[in-house]
A and B are shown apart, each in its own frame.
Chain A
Amino acid sequence: MSHNEKLLNDDCHNSRRGFLKKSVAATAIALAPNVIVKAAEDGLDEKAAGYFEKTNIKLTINDIDYSLSIEPRTTLLDLLREQLHLTGSKKGCDYGQCGACTVHVDGKRVLSCLSLAVMQEGKHITTIEGLAKGDDLHPMQQAFIDHDGFQCGYCTPGQIMSAVACVREGHANSPEEVRQYMSGNICRCGAYNNIVDAIIEVKRKGGTI
């Protein structure tokens, strides 16, 4: 069984809408909130998930396709860490204030602690685990090592994901600009100067990162 198949919950092959449409069984209708059933019948929803059960989503994480069964309230960060054991993305504050949970969704840096996993359906997610190519570190990972861009390392995965985006966005043209566009990532150890040096070096070396 592949990693992916293992994650696929057996009872989740049917689409949620298909389930609602088919289940004339009184119990299911009694449990399902009216709006959801109605929307499913009208075909007006792309997706409906009751709080009373898990829902299926498909998404791509670090170039691997996943079919997952999740509760609507699961955040992307909890999905990554608790369900998929991708513990590189860190939970610093869980309230959008520190940047430790930064990942890329469809190429944009976002905070996974404030993202609901169910809303990411069909999207491409990149985490710190997806940056290196085999044993070859990503240039930004190497630059953080070369410049001592961390002490305890807790903020580092978020810093690196943010730093890669910062360079790709074209916001790494000066130390001042880097400080401005890296301000969403807090470092309790205060490794800021070395982090800025690492980013400036990657930018200076050029090439596609």
Chain B
Amino acid sequence: MITFDYIRPATTKAAIDALKKESSAQFIAGGTNLVDLMKHGITAPQRLIDISRLPLNIIEQKGNMIRIGAMALNSTVAENALIQQQLPLLSQALQAGASPQLRNMATVGGNMMQRTRCAYFYDTTLPCNKREPGSGCSALQGYNRMHAIFGASDQCIAVHPSDMCVALAALDAVVVIADSKGERRLPFIDFHRLPGNSPHVDNNLAKGEMIVGIEVPLNNFVKHYRYTKIRDRQSYAFALVSVAAAIDIKENIISDIRLAMGGVGSQTVATNKS
């Protein structure tokens, strides 16, 4: 791993300001993706801004929505009583991801920002448009049984590997984003991008912005829900395909339904129509 300098700002504002000042700086939260990528030489920020101790880890109900801070740990969210009661689908999806040790480190914001696990993205000796724009895509003619089924382009067929994101897409979540001027909100399903001609840009977070939280509206999907993940081994493996499904049944009639698919594209594929 190359050398870098490290700062731990005391406030969210100071962290955002610090990101603006150094073009190659990156936030580090749990570090489970970033440290891995730095060790592989895929990314080499000259400065790490430690945001893991910022007071952005609160999970609370606010009116008719639940707000989850970006720094909340994946394990904490999965086991939080409010989440288990009101958003059990999210809890189930989180439990399906990674391992207990990784879930104790990984944050909500970091999970959304994690990069693809495409083997060619990881292999720095081979071309990859996501890693090195314009170099080509090795996966197109390569070993690609885990690659995109939907939304791929002739430049990239990588998928986003998150489980949590599939549930968030199904549950109409909204991403709360902050920069030095204030906050904005983005529907979760618009957060990740299709590869098109710029597969190196994974999402619509602008330079200098931080994810500060997620808002999920309260819903009636607390009884009939399931997160199913098909993978090469029973646990601790990325999805070949995963499905988040939830239905609301009133008087024996399905009154509302949500379906989202993960592991099949660079975005979660959601069909959110009542």
CB within 8 Å of A: which B18-38 residues: 18, 21-22, 28, 31-32, 35-36
Please give, as numbers and ranges, the residues of chain B lying within 8 Å of A73 by CB-CB distance: 1-4
Q: Are A49 and B235 in contact (CB-based, < 8 A)?
A: no
Q: Which residue of the partner chain B has the closest CB to A74?
A: B1
Stretch of B5-13, B83-91, B133-141, B145-153 that contacts chain A: B5-13
Question: Does A35 contact B98, Cβ atoms closer than 8 Å?
Answer: no
Which residue of A is nearest B1, CB measured?
A: A73
**Among the listed stretches B101-109, B158-166, B248-256, which one makes contact with chain A, having 4 or more residues with CB under 8 Å of it?**
B101-109
Q: Give min CB distance, A186 to chain B, whole Å.
A: 8
User: Which of B45-53, B174-182, B211-219, B257-265 lies at the interface with chain A?
Assistant: B45-53
A116→B101 contact, CB < 8 A: no
CA distance A162 to B100 in the complex (A): 9
Task: Tell me whether A48 and B6 are in contact (CB under 8 A).
Answer: yes
Q: Does A80 contact B (CB under 8 A)?
A: no
Asked if A115 and B31 sit within 8 Å, CB to CB, the answer is yes
How distant is the Cα of A118 from the Cα of B6 in the complex, in angstroms?
8
A75, B14: Cβ atoms under 8 Å?
no
Complexed CA–CA distance, A48 and B5 (Å): 8
| A49 and B32 contact, CB distance less than 8 A | no
Closest A residue, CB atoms, query B79: A169
- Residue A95 is within 8 A (CB to CB) of chain B in the complex: yes
| Most chain A CB atoms below 10 A, which of B36, B40, B236 | B236
Alpha-carbon gap, A31 to B40, bound state (A): 28
CA of A162 to CA of B75, assembled, Å: 15
Instruction: Report A19-72 residues with CB < 8 Å from chain B CB.
Output: 33-36, 38-39, 42, 44-52, 55, 71-72
With A114-B31, A183-B99 known as contacts, the answer to whether A119 contacts B50 (CB < 8 A) is yes
The smallest C-beta distance from A114 to any residue of chain B, in angstroms, reads 5
Chain B min CB distance to A167 (Å):
12
- Cα distance A50–B3 when bound, in Å? 9
CB distance from A123 to the nearest CB of B (A): 11
Q: Is A160 on the interface with B (CB-CB < 8 A)? A: no
Kindly state the separation between the CA atoms of A34 and B18 in the bound complex, as whole angstroms.
11
Q: Does B234 contact A (CB under 8 A)?
A: yes
B residues in contact with A96, CB < 8 Å: 32, 36, 102
A180 at the B interface (CB under 8 A): yes
Task: List the A side residues contacting B234 at CB < 8 Å.
Answer: 179-180, 183
Contact residues on A (Cβ < 8 Å of other chain), bracket: 35 or more
Which A residues are in CB contact (< 8 Å) with B18?
35, 39
Distance in angstroms between the alpha carbons of A122 and B39 in the assembled complex = 25
Q: How far is the CA of A47 from the CA of B99 in the complex (A)?
A: 30
The digit string for A175-209, where 1 denotes a CB below 8 A from any CB of B, is 00001110111000000000000000000000000
Judge if A111 is at the interface, Cβ distance under 8 Å: yes
CB-CB under 8 A for A116 and B235, given A39-B7, A184-B102 = no
Using a CB–CB distance below 8 Å, which chain B residues touch chain A?
Answer: 1-11, 14, 17-18, 21-22, 28, 31-32, 35-36, 39-40, 46-48, 50, 52-53, 75, 98-102, 104-105, 234-236
- The contact sample of 26 A-B pairs, CB cut-off 8 A, is A33-B5, A33-B47, A36-B7, A39-B18, A44-B10, A46-B9, A47-B6, A48-B6, A50-B5, A52-B3, A55-B6, A71-B3, A73-B2, A73-B3, A95-B40, A108-B104, A110-B104, A111-B101, A114-B35, A116-B31, A118-B6, A162-B100, A162-B101, A179-B235, A180-B235, A183-B235
- A residues near B (Cβ < 8 Å) are 33-36, 38-39, 42, 44-52, 55, 71-73, 75, 94-96, 99, 102, 108-111, 114-116, 118-119, 162, 165-166, 169, 171, 179-181, 183-185
Beyond A39-B14, A44-B10, 13 additional contacts (C-beta under 8 Å) are A34-B21, A42-B14, A44-B9, A47-B50, A48-B5, A49-B6, A72-B6, A96-B36, A108-B104, A111-B32, A116-B6, A171-B100, A184-B101
